[in-house]
């Protein structure tokens, strides 16, 4: 059957690629910002402190978060077009809006908005990982579930200010990294399912 979608609905990249690039650029640029921040400690300092530091790491951090949010929003839009019955696109979209808010509203001048944005990004990003475990095949589903539950457990510990000896910055990264690793893995999984990088060419289960 010919594809009758509007040309506006035909994206040059599959949604998995948008999500993969989102995770990749966020991890890369946030690490660059950490390297450029004198005296910054990944154990003791929150990730968001990059957004109130010296001008160069601050600009990189803000750009990383806003770009991440826009890329994930694009991917979630394409995912919704592909599978409107799934709610994964919604979880991703809320997480993306939260990430943009973290970049736009810094923790010093907009503490409440920043805190809410961070909660949306962390909570819904890891919920997306848990939700996606129901939509993919084992053993990948077990990995996605483990990543999501790790992030959610660490988020609960972070809220209770229990750092398990990792420091508050360290326990925050136990929320952040599982969501990012899942996004990278899910993006690759989606690309394989769609036949964009080899493997099955039929529709995936996302």
Asked, for residue 200, whether it belongs to a domain, the answer is no
Q: Looking at the domain assignment, is residue 1 inside a domain? A: no
In a domain, 3, yes or no: no
Please indicate, yes or no, if residue 99 is contained in any of the structural domains: yes
Q: Total structural domains in the chain?
A: 1
Asked whether residue 124 is domain-assigned, the answer is yes
Q: According to the model, what pLDDT value does residue 89 have?
A: 96
Range of the domain at 125: 13-193
pLDDT of residue 166: 97
86's torsion region: left (phi>0), alpha (psi -120 to 50) or beta? beta
pLDDT given at position 142: 98
pLDDT of residue 201: 43
Specify whether the CB–CB gap between 179 and 122 falls below 8 A. yes
Q: What is the pLDDT of residue 11?
A: 53
CB 107 within 8 A of CB 99: no
pLDDT at 109: 94
Within a domain: 199: no
Q: What is the dihedral of CA 113, 182, 72, 49, to 10 degrees?
A: 30
User: Under DSSP, is residue 121 helix (H, G, I), strand (E, B) or coil?
Assistant: helix
Residue 205 lies in a domain: no
88, part of any domain: yes
Q: Going residue by residue through the chain (206 aa), what tens digit of pLDDT does each one get?
A: 344 443 334 556 899 999 999 999 999 999 999 999 999 999 999 999 999 999 999 999 999 999 999 999 999 999 999 888 899 999 999 999 999 999 999 999 999 999 999 999 999 999 999 999 999 999 999 999 999 999 999 999 999 999 999 999 999 999 999 999 999 999 999 999 876 554 444 334 44
pLDDT computed for residue 202 by the predictor: 39
Q: What is the number of alpha carbons within 13 Å of residue 143 lying toward its C-beta?
A: 12
What pLDDT, on the 0 to 100 scale, is given for residue 5? 44
């Amino acid at each position: 059957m010919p594809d009758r979608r509007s040309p506006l609905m035909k994206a040059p990249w599959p949604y998995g690629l948008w999500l993969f690039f989102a995770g990749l650029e966020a991890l890369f640029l946030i690490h660059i910002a950490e390297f450029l921040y004198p005296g910054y400690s990944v154990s003791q300092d929150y990730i968001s402190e990059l957004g109130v530091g010296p001008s160069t790491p601050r600009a990189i951090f803000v750009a990383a978060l806003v770009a991440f949010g826009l890329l994930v929003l694009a991917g979630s839009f394409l995912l919704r077009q592909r599978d409107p019955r799934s709610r994964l696109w919604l979880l991703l979209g809320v997480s993306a809006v939260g990430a943009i808010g973290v970049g736009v509203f810094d923790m010093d001048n907009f503490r409440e908005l920043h805190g809410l944005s961070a909660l949306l990004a962390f909570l819904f990003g890891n919920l997306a990982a848990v939700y996606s475990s129901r939509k993919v095949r084992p053993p990948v589903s077990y990995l996605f579930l483990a990543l999501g539950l790790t992030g959610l457990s660490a988020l609960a510990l972070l809220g209770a200010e229990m750092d398990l000896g990792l420091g508050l910055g360290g326990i925050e990264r136990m929320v952040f990294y599982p969501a990012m690793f899942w996004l990278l893995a899910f993006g690759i999984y989606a690309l394989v399912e769609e036949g964009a990088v080899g493997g099955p060419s039929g529709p995936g289960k996302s």
